């Protein structure tokens, strides 16, 4: 069946595709990925900006909608919604067969709202109501303002993919928001689903830069280890949070686990194995969303073994060693969150500018 199927069937991890292009749905390529074992799909403003600017798949619709006088930002959301709706339909069978565990498609609210709690809630409601599919995830960033928005939306029985998590403290706050939202929701909870997207490779990019500045043999020996260690500790937090009396009371109402989702899992350093951030974070009740090149690499030569909780002491030791060297992972997370929000906002603005230029040409 292939490694992607084995990853789920033997190890309980769902491989998702972190990419979407309109041409893939028309050509059948997305269905081919699903047949190979992909069980969900994530998107973000950068993905849509690239698809809209690097292909001509959207040109006819852009010209038509802009020609009808539709504002450019509305044109963007119309195009995004059309793509998401097609993907939702293609993944609906997996959602049905898995009893709502997988088959999700994620779409992100306007990244310019990342520090606007009220605006995020309102934008999420609009997207969720417009697309109105049981296998839809609305992506909400795990900023300080996004966390309470998550609790509100979950309390309204909306399914949320919490994105841009970089720190263990913020991850704990995200899980608390999910639990609080579940507790505030009325009636049975089985229709609510959520994943918490913990970003991986970007952590190593920043930590490795700081280790290189220190330059000692011990520091250089820690390169490429911080991201996996932090992810493995996050998994321990997940196990602890979703157990005990509080969780049991919610589970009795049909509540679903908020699964950890490993995001940003393509390696940025070419000296690292191209499947490093898949091989090292495999375990039950998790998701790994992968760009197509990393999916291909893992399906070809990835290592299948339960690794995410194989050696918690190793993970804690790495974090302790980094602390002794003066590397504060919370400080790293603040920098990466700022950069992540900025990057998605820039992609969103660039997409709008490109659409506006196309409409005027």
Active site members: 139
Q: In which region does residue 308 sit, left (phi positive, over 0), alpha (psi from -120 to 50) or beta (all else)?
A: alpha
Per-residue b/e over 94-120, b at no fewer than 16 CB within 10 Å?
Answer: bbeebebbbbbbbbbbbbebbebbebb
Instruction: Please write down the HEC assignment for all residues of 50-111.
Output: HHHHHCCCCHHHHHHHHHCCCCHHHHHHHHHHHHHHHHHHHHHHHHHHCCCCCCCEEEECCH
List C-alpha distances in Å: 42 to 65, 129, 160.
Answer: 26, 19, 12
Cβ neighbours, 10 Å, residue 137: 27
At 117 the three-state DSSP class reads helix
The helix (run of H) or strand (run of E) holding residue 289 is strand 286-290
What is the distance between the alpha carbons of residues 260 and 262, in angstroms, rounded to a whole number? 6
How remote is the C-alpha of 198 from its chain's centroid?
7
Output the CA torsion sign for 312, 313, 317, 323.
positive
């Amino acid at each position: 069946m292939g490694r992607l199927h084995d990853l789920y069937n033997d190890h309980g991890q769902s491989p998702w595709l972190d990419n979407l292009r309109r041409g893939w749905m028309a050509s059948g390529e997305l269905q081919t990925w699903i047949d190979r074992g992909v069980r969900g799909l994530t998107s973000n403003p950068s993905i849509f900006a690239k698809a809209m600017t690097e292909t001509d798949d959207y040109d006819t619709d852009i010209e038509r909608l802009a020609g009808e006088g539709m504002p450019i930002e509305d044109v963007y959301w119309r195009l995004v919604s059309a793509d998401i709706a097609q993907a939702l339909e293609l993944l609906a069978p997996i959602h049905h067969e898995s009893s709502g565990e997988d088959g999700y498609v994620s779409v992100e609210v306007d990244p310019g709202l990342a520090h606007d709690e009220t605006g995020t809630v309102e934008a999420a409601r609009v997207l969720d109501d417009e697309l109105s599919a049981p296998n839809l995830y609305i992506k909400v960033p795990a900023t300080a303002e996004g966390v309470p928005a998550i609790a509100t939306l979950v309390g309204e029985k909306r399914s949320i993919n919490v994105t841009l998590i970089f720190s263990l403290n913020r991850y704990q706050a995200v899980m608390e928001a999910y639990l609080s939202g579940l507790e505030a929701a009325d009636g049975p909870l089985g229709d609510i689903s959520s994943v918490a997207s913990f970003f991986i490779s970007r952590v190593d990019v920043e930590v490795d830069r700081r280790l290189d500045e220190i330059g000692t043999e011990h520091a250089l020996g820690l390169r490429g280890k911080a991201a996996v260690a932090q992810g493995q500790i996050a998994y321990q937090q997940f196990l602890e949070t979703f157990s005990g009396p509080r969780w049991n009371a919610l589970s009795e109402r049909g509540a679903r686990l908020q699964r950890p989702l490993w995001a940003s899992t393509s390696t940025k350093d070419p000296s690292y194995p191209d499947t490093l951030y898949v091989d090292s974070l495999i375990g039950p009740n998790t998701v790994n969303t992968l760009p197509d090149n990393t999916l291909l690499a893992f399906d070809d030569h990835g290592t299948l073994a339960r690794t995410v909780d194989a050696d918690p002491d190793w993970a804690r030791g790495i974090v302790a060693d980094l602390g002794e060297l003066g590397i504060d992972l919370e400080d790293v997370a603040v920098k990466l969150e700022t950069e992540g929000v900025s990057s998605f906002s820039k992609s969103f603005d660039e997409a709008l500018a490109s659409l506006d230029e196309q409409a005027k040409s």
